[in-house]
Structure 1
Amino acid sequence: MQWTYGADPNGVLSISDILPEADRRADWSRVRALFEQQIRIADSGGTTPAELRDAFSDAVEQIATSYTDREADLALHALAVLGDVECAEFIDDALRRKHYDDDRFGRDTVAEGRRRPSPYEAIVETCRRVRDARQLCMALRGTGTSGLLIGSVSYGRYHNVRGNRLGTSASDLDCLVIAQDSEILDRITTGIAAVPGLTAAEVDRFDDRTRLFRRDFDDGKTVFSHKFRLWSDTTPDAVLPITVAPVEYQLSLHIMSLPVLERILVSGTPRLLRELMGVRRTVRDYRQTQATRQDEVFDFSGRRDASPLDADEVEGGWLIAPRVYHLDQFDSYFPGFYQTMLFPRPTTLWDELGIAAVIDEFQRKISERLRYEATRRPSTLLRHDFAHVRRTVFAPSVIRSLQSRDHSS
């Protein structure tokens, strides 16, 4: 009988057999030390500093570069290291549950009631979504589109990506798909059916809404948004057994044609100046459910502006009209939801339309706008991340990246 990693006949894995392979793959010493530090603080009755949790997720993100396309191994090796810190001998569902549900380091919320995940939970849930994003890329490659990884898996990986427990919904896998025009939706429908964990019923619902979109709402100013339930049937997930935690989460696709992307990026103007672009622009979004949030935007100083989000119920969903950008009476620039999707710079999954240069140009214009405002208010602290509605869940590496752009601005 051939056992993997020293598994016994009941499928339990020996940590002592896994650790050498983990060591050959990457240097886990910092992850190990920072986890042990968190345990000692918790055991002493102290509160884990946010900086320590940030350092731990940062160390895991650096390790992850050694596990490209091997997310299941990353999750397994991480559990072996965490388990070994606490003198566990075997990996089984009991150990997985212990670390997945581990709230010793604080069950606090980070923003909008969003629960902070446990260290192992953040690792596992990030691994699952990175793997599924790769599967989406494989399914849609060749459709004449471009795909960008946005949302928490782009700016909060191994840090604030959470599962479905304690009454809070799991983090979505958010992707932006750019198409030449809406006729490409048929190809996307065909391709996406190959994504593991996606049922035929989910694909059929998507297909029905794409037809309604093309018939009624495709005007060059409207985004098509759709959420799929992933892993909602009995398909097993090798990274997270159903016996450990609920595996279902949502894949959130935002599909836009090139004209819509150009509208969001303000491609017709070389600079983001009021005299060139006016004080406000909106786009429409055709989505399945009514938005519960306000149209909330922030400027580079962190000042908030919120207004009611217009929503009309239509066949197959709702139409909302969020701002692309807003300039107030002080000439302060507030990037809207769709612009903040594109900074921090999203991960490019595939690019058959060559949009990378367009995204880079938008990044340049945003930095130039921050520099313009800084010259007018030299004593005010202005930062890129202050203008992002999700800045409280950014991973440390993302904060560093944006701060480097602040300094270059």
Structure 2
Amino acid sequence: MTSYLTAEQPHRVADVLPVLTQRAEWGAVRMLFSQQLQQGDSGGQRVPNLLMDAFAVALEQVSACYAMDWETMCLHALTALADVQRAEYIDLELFQKYYEFDIRGVASGMVPGSRRRPGTGEAIVETCRRLRDVHRLSAALRRTGSSGLLIGSMNYGRYYNIRGNRDGEGASDLDLIVVLDDATGLLPLADGLANVPCVRRSDVDRFRQRAEVFMSEFDDSRTVFSHKVQLWPDCVPDPMLPREIAAADYLLSIHVMTPPVLRYILVDSTPELARETSGGRRTLPDYREAQHDRWDDVYDFAARQDRAVLHEVEVRDGWVRSPRCYHFDDDDCYFPGFYQSMFIPGPNLVWDDRAIHFPIAVFRNKLAQRLRDEATRRRHAMLRQSFAHVRRDDFAPSVLRTLDGAYSGS
């Protein structure tokens, strides 16, 4: 979708189909979409999560054929859906139908126990937009001597639950961990952000201002720097999302860490996650823009919650809060905390100038071993890595299967 879709410039399905069929095998996407339509037409009140997940997996597999060409991927996906329904044009009306409604023509809405489910086209468009944008960010930031990790919903819900900016609920963030040699790298990082056309300039200025405060007051090799930047503000139109459909803006959430901070989170001082060698709990200060919440909620592998008061202090140009990295309870059960949950499931390493994939792999092995150790002690309990994540209900079923094994169907 390389130019605006307008009422005067619809895409003809017949013009796109020959290119689509040469580029990738769309058979699974088409069949699963048709199956969902049939399920709805037969009177089903809700398409099963597993069917929606299979559709998302099929889209993920097809996307490998597009080699960073996410605009074309988006257009071809919508064309495949349109052809299944015998539509002749992809125009604003059809785009809006797919973006705002699920495949049965029922307005997308809340699913019990989770946040709003996006429309079929909404999940496709918003996933492709973020994949395009993270590629652009990678190109701009890899010159800063850093490493970047894609975390959050784009790591566990692609083409499944990525939401746009509509219905009064904010769009899904694009979440990144950036690892820098030292805090002085924040300024080149700001320069890199300024070179990305979809980033709001005032947010970059604010990032630079807070970075200078951080370097002068909080740079102790023990504190995380967090900041949110708006992408695609009103003044910067996005050719993948017509203004008539929805607002294009969403937030880039960046957590910047130095190697000592990352090592502390990943407990690299010991080969195992054990109270005797690593301590009963660890916290880390986080210098962020706004006050967050009064509670620090963590969960163990059995989905039990441990709630503590979140210590927060207002400081210059922000707040410092200190959530837990992990926690052991009195029964020696392990609770991954806010920071370690960023690595569940394993993050997507977007660029890596610092070879941080090695310590992350070691931590992932230690986490799996801790689960096995607790399963030996608690052999009748159902223990899963995903139970320890606060957003577990938003995980795509395929992600749960990969993370937890055969017993995590949804």
- TM-score bucket (shorter structure): over 0.9
Tell me the secondary structure at the aligned position of residue 266 of structure 1: coil
- Distance 1:331-1:9 versus aligned 2 partners, 3 A rule: closer
Alignment map for 1:288-327 (pairs within 5 Å): 288-292=289-293, 294-327=295-328
Greater CA deviation, 319-328 or 113-122? 113-122
Q: What letter is aligned with 2:396?
A: A
- Distance 1:328-1:292 versus aligned 2 partners, 3 A rule: same
Greater CA deviation, 46-55 or 328-337? 46-55
Map Cα deviations across residues 287-316 of structure 1 (whole Å, 9 max, x no partner).
111103631211111111222212111111
TM-score of the superposed pair, with normalisation by structure 1: 0.94
Residue in structure 1 matched with residue 18 of structure 2 by the alignment: 20
Unmatched tracts of structure 2, length 5 or more: none
Aligned residues of 1:135 and 1:196 also touching (Cα < 8 A): no
Unmatched tracts of structure 1, length 5 or more: none
* CA apart distance, 1:254: 0.4
* CA apart distance, 1:199: 2.5
Q: What letter is aligned with 2:257?
A: M
Tell me the secondary structure at the aligned position of residue 354 of structure 2: coil
* CA apart distance, 1:188: 0.6
Tell me the secondary structure at the aligned position of residue 270 of structure 1: coil
* CA apart distance, 1:9: 10
Alignment map for 1:102-117 (pairs within 5 Å): 102-103=101-102, 104=105, 107-110=108-111, 114-117=115-118
1:16 & 1:272 partners in 2: Cα distance?
Answer: 58
Residue in structure 1 matched with residue 77 of structure 2 by the alignment: 78
* CA apart distance, 1:238: 1.8
1:127 & 1:200 partners in 2: Cα distance?
Answer: 23
* CA apart distance, 1:10: 2.9
Tell me the secondary structure at the aligned position of residue 287 of structure 2: strand
- Distance 1:151-1:368 versus aligned 2 partners, 3 A rule: same
Tell me the secondary structure at the aligned position of residue 34 of structure 1: helix
* CA apart distance, 1:399: 1.6
Tell me the secondary structure at the aligned position of residue 144 of structure 2: coil
Residue in structure 1 matched with residue 215 of structure 2 by the alignment: 214
1:308 & 1:21 partners in 2: Cα distance?
Answer: 56
Q: What letter is aligned with 1:23?
A: T
Tell me the secondary structure at the aligned position of residue 98 of structure 1: helix
Residue in structure 2 matched with residue 243 of structure 1 by the alignment: 244
- Distance 1:177-1:258 versus aligned 2 partners, 3 A rule: same
Residue in structure 2 matched with residue 367 of structure 1 by the alignment: 368
Map Cα deviations across residues 188-229 of structure 1 (whole Å, 9 max, x no partner).
111111112112211101000001111111122211000001
Aligned residues of 1:383 and 1:406 also touching (Cα < 8 A): no
1:117 & 1:303 partners in 2: Cα distance?
Answer: 29
2:397 & 2:22 partners in 1: Cα distance?
Answer: 26
Aligned residues of 1:123 and 1:158 also touching (Cα < 8 A): yes
Q: What letter is aligned with 1:88?
A: A
Map Cα deviations across residues 64-118 of structure 1 (whole Å, 9 max, x no partner).
1112201111110111111122221011111111110014367343577621111
Tell me the secondary structure at the aligned position of residue 142 of structure 1: helix
Residue in structure 1 matched with residue 230 of structure 2 by the alignment: 229
Aligned residues of 1:294 and 1:308 also touching (Cα < 8 A): yes
Q: What letter is aligned with 1:37?
A: Q
Alignment map for 1:156-195 (pairs within 5 Å): 156-195=157-196
* CA apart distance, 1:40: 2.6
- Distance 1:9-1:82 versus aligned 2 partners, 3 A rule: closer
Aligned residues of 1:199 and 1:233 also touching (Cα < 8 A): no
Greater CA deviation, 285-294 or 221-230? 285-294
Map Cα deviations across residues 135-157 of structure 1 (whole Å, 9 max, x no partner).
11111112111100011111111
- Distance 1:406-1:84 versus aligned 2 partners, 3 A rule: closer
Greater CA deviation, 235-244 or 342-351? 235-244
Greater CA deviation, 302-311 or 317-326? 302-311
Q: Are 2:40 and 1:42 equivalent residues in the alignment?
A: yes
Alignment map for 1:339-378 (pairs within 5 Å): 339-378=340-379
* CA apart distance, 1:397: 3.1
* CA apart distance, 1:42: 2.6
Residue in structure 1 matched with residue 402 of structure 2 by the alignment: 401
1:254 & 1:69 partners in 2: Cα distance?
Answer: 24
Q: What letter is aligned with 2:54?
A: A
TM-score of the superposed pair, with normalisation by structure 2: 0.94
Aligned residues of 1:111 and 1:392 also touching (Cα < 8 A): no
- Distance 1:269-1:19 versus aligned 2 partners, 3 A rule: same
Instruction: Indicate the RMSD between aligned Cα atoms, in angstroms.
Output: 2.1
Greater CA deviation, 8-17 or 287-296? 8-17
Aligned residues of 2:100 and 2:107 also touching (Cα < 8 A): no
Residue in structure 1 matched with residue 93 of structure 2 by the alignment: 94
1:362 & 1:110 partners in 2: Cα distance?
Answer: 33
1:357 & 1:304 partners in 2: Cα distance?
Answer: 30
Tell me the secondary structure at the aligned position of residue 109 of structure 1: coil
- Distance 1:16-1:288 versus aligned 2 partners, 3 A rule: same
2:114 & 2:346 partners in 1: Cα distance?
Answer: 25
2:197 & 2:400 partners in 1: Cα distance?
Answer: 33
1:254 & 1:223 partners in 2: Cα distance?
Answer: 7
- Distance 1:367-1:347 versus aligned 2 partners, 3 A rule: same
Alignment map for 1:146-161 (pairs within 5 Å): 146-161=147-162
Q: What letter is aligned with 1:95?
A: L
Aligned residues of 1:172 and 1:250 also touching (Cα < 8 A): yes
Aligned residues of 1:231 and 1:248 also touching (Cα < 8 A): yes
| Count of aligned positions | 403
Aligned residues of 1:384 and 1:406 also touching (Cα < 8 A): no
1:285 & 1:175 partners in 2: Cα distance?
Answer: 15
